Structure 1
Amino acid sequence: MAGTKIRNQTSVQDFILLGFPGAWYFRMSLAVLFSLTYVLTVIGNIGIIALVRTHPQLHTPMYFFLCNLSFLEIWLTTTSAPKAIGVTLGTSQTISFTACLMQMYILVSLGATECLLLAAMAYDRYLAICHPLRYSVLMNNTITAQLALASWLGGFLAVALVAALISRLSFCGANIINHFFCLTESWIVLSCTDTHVIELTTFFLSIIIVIFSCKITVVSYICIISTILRIPSTKAWQKAFSTCSAHLIVVTLWFSSCIILFVKPSAQNTQDLNKTVNIFNTIITPLLNPFVYTLRNKEVKEALGKTVRGTFSGFRKVSSY
């Protein structure tokens, strides 16, 4: 009993994040890129939430899910970008054991939640296009809220098991993490105890969440495309495609990177690849989402245009006094 307790104790209280080692101008360029991306991501996603809330024509299940996604992206990039900036500048390379565990848990949970949310959005588009007459019944406010809640709870509860297992690992001296932030593979690489259970648990949870969500999304879009191709009107065909093209772009970017990151049997010797893909997944993708949905969605562009015109009209009235 005492021996077990000693083995479960860790001699490491802090970790050092390496980031991308390189010349000063390279690291400064990365820090500027991360900073600009972070500011634009937060502004863009807050803008989408505000746009949906202030325009009644956007009070539909599709945009309710989009608000959830934007809210998630704000927290995803907030959990990763500021620390990545500090690591790149060399001002905040140390992170405590507890903070590292919490960052890992929040980042991975948000990633899992995004997979489930994107699957729910694909299912929503499937019902809207393939069953338009029954859509308001099949996707009412209650069902929409339940799907969103299930996505959030599913993502955070699933990763809680991995976090609990990681918290029991022992670290016997090595404390340098070859990354900008803490993720599951960082702990696995550094631990001096057996990590096969954690690796298998992470792998199977990834299969369940990532592949299951991806399967729902792919099947939904196969049905959507099949239905669209049977529409005789070219105008209706284009309208149907425009309602799901933005979501399809986001889904492709997100699931491609998730499969590279998580659906693999071992985390060993993949740090450099994971570091590069994680930058795209947690810093770049959250920035792309608001612009993709704004530029590819006619309803959002119209609402944005009304907001801009109203703002300029207000400025002119104020300046005339």
Structure 2
Amino acid sequence: MERALELANRSSSQGFVLLGFSANQGIRDVLFLVFLSLYLLVLLENALVVYLVFSHRELRKPMYFFLGNLSCLETCYVSVTMPTLLRGLRSSPCHVSFTACIAQLFFFVSFISTKCSLLATMAYDRYVAICHPLHYPLLMRPQVCRGLALSSWLGGLLVSALKTTCIANLSYCGPNVLNHFFCDVSPLLNLSCTHVALVDLVDFISALAVLWGSLLVAIASYVAIGRTVICMPSAAAGRKALSTCASHLVVMGCFYSVVLFTYSRPGHVKATDLYKALSVIYTAVTPACSPVVYCLRNHAVRTALQETLNPHRVSQEMPPPTASLKLKGEIYGI
């Protein structure tokens, strides 16, 4: 017992060393510029989406409310990992304290769990809009939307608190070197010198519950949407309904395919260069692509963006009432 406390105290005082990406200084400088540009792009894109959603009356719909939450979330969780990555590229290896490492782990797990819930909620929103369009204003009224969003954020905090507490109470023998560019679950478990079977089990069950639970909700929603589209009398109506889901399907497919491969297995897995490369995809690349995918495929968002960039031109090109009614139908997914 005394030995375990000594090791824990030593871990807390020494902190951890993040190896990051092993390369010569020239390559690291190039990577630094690439990731810095990507980070700034993510901040700019998602801030623009949040501004458009909350400043334009025509975007004050459930679909865009959840999109605004998703953009806020991606701004937060990319800010948890990217500064450490950039710091490691400038001064490799990167030293972090035990407290800072655990705090980074807590916020990262919380945000990624919240993103899973929000993606599932957005799939459910599309299900209600397409399969039950007449009941959509009631089923997705503002109080329900706020409750769904709040439960996603609070659920992420709860899952993260459970996992982080278990990992923070482990003892680390050293050398406290993490083969990663931020403090993630598997690299930390690999350094523990105490029995981690229980922690592995908690990590595995929570990953299955969050990842697979949200994925099953999304899959069930889109299966129901597919059945409804098949039964539609008009092929044009079916294509219009599916077009409102295309952006979400692309973002969700890219995110889940990488995250499930990384986390839906026992946590005591060696971190490799492939592991780090996949982590870059869902921590940096996906947040940069999501706003572009949503904006390019959504007429209402494109119109709001054009109005923001060039308000005088848009005011001269206001659509006739029939076009406005058509746009309202597209917003509800019918």
Q: Distance in 1 between matches of 2:140 and 2:258?
A: 29
Letter in 2 for 1:112: S
- Report the alpha carbon displacement of residue 115 of structure 1 after superposing the two structures with TM: 0.2
Whole-Å separation in 1 of the counterparts to 2:268 and 2:248: 30
Greater shift in the superposed pair: 224-233 or 284-293: 224-233
- Gap change, CA 1:7 and 1:139, over 3 Å in 2: same
Match of 2:62 in 1: 61
Please name the residue that 2:162 is paired with: 161
Distance 1:4 1:267, change over 3 A: closer
Distance 1:300 1:180 in 2: 35
Q: How high is the TM-score relative to the length of structure 1? A: 0.93
| 1:313 to partner: Cα distance | 8.8
2:311 matched to which residue of 1?
310
More displaced 10-residue stretch of structure 1: 10-19 or 273-282: 10-19
Aligned ranges for residues 222-233 of structure 1 at < 5 Å?
A: 222-233=223-234
Q: Distance in 2 between matches of 1:111 and 1:311?
A: 40
TM-aligned CA distance change 1:99 to 1:11, over 3 Å: closer
Matched residue type, 1:220: S
Report deviation, 1:87.
0.3
Instruction: Name 1:49's counterpart in structure 2.
Output: 50
Tell me the secondary structure at the aligned position of residue 310 of structure 2.
Answer: helix
State which drifts further: 1-10 or 21-30.
1-10
The code of the aligned residue for 1:21 comes to S
- 1:305 and 1:227 mapped to 2: Cα distance? 33
Moved more, 216-225 or 301-310: 301-310
Greater alpha carbon shift after TM alignment, 128-137 vs 2-11: 2-11
Task: Tell me which amino acid in the other structure corresponds to 1:182.
Answer: C
Alignment of 1:89-108 (within 5 A): 89-90=90-91, 93-108=94-109
Structure 2: segments with no counterpart, 5+ residues? 316-334
Matching of residues 20-59 of structure 1 within 5 Å: 20-59=21-60
SS in 1 for 2:266: coil
Contact 1:10 1:169 in 2 (8 A): no
Deviates more, 1:202-211 or 1:191-200: 191-200
Q: How does 1:213-252 map to 2 (within 5 A)?
A: 213-252=214-253
Secondary structure of 1:294's partner?
helix
Contact residue 83 and residue 92 of structure 1 kept, 8 A: no
Q: 1:24 to 1:92 in 2, by over 3 A?
A: closer
Task: Name 2:126's counterpart in structure 1.
Answer: 125
Q: Distance in 2 between matches of 1:2 and 1:175?
A: 20
Measure, in 2, the Cα distance between the counterparts of 1:226 and 1:15: 52
1:29/1:312 CA distance change after superposition, 3 Å: farther
Per the alignment, residue 148 of structure 2 pairs with: 147
Q: Which runs of 5+ in 1 are unaligned?
A: 315-321
The CA distance in 1 between the partners of 2:8 and 2:268, in whole Å, is 22
When the two chains are superposed, the root-mean-square deviation of aligned CA atoms in Å is 1.8
Q: Which residue of 2 aligns with 1:201?
A: 202
TM-aligned CA distance change 1:49 to 1:5, over 3 Å = same
Question: How far apart, in 1, do the equivalents of 2:173 and 2:2 lie?
Answer: 18
User: Per-residue displacement from partner, 1:173-192 (whole Å, max 9, x unpaired)?
Assistant: 21111111101112101111
Residue 23 (structure 1) shift: 2.1
Counterpart amino acid of 1:273?
L
Deviation per residue, 1:249-284 (Å, 9 max, x gap): 111011111101110024322433321111111111
Per-residue Cα deviation, 1:205-232 (whole angstroms, up to 9, x for no partner): 0010100000000110111122112222
SS where residue 96 of structure 2 aligns?
A: strand
Deviation of 1:201 (Å): 0.5
The range that moved more, 257-266 or 7-16, is 7-16
AA of the residue aligned to 1:226: R
Question: CA 1:311 to 1:165, structure 2 compared with 1: closer, same or farther past 3 Å?
Answer: farther
User: 1:46·1:71 contact (CA, 8 Å) conserved in 2?
Assistant: yes
TM-score by length of 2: 0.89
| Deviation (angstroms), 1:89 | 1.7
Alpha carbons 1:261, 1:277 under 8 Å: kept: yes
**Does the residue aligned with 1:253 lie in a helix, a strand or coil?**
helix
2:229 and 2:288 map into 1 onto residues whose CA distance is 30
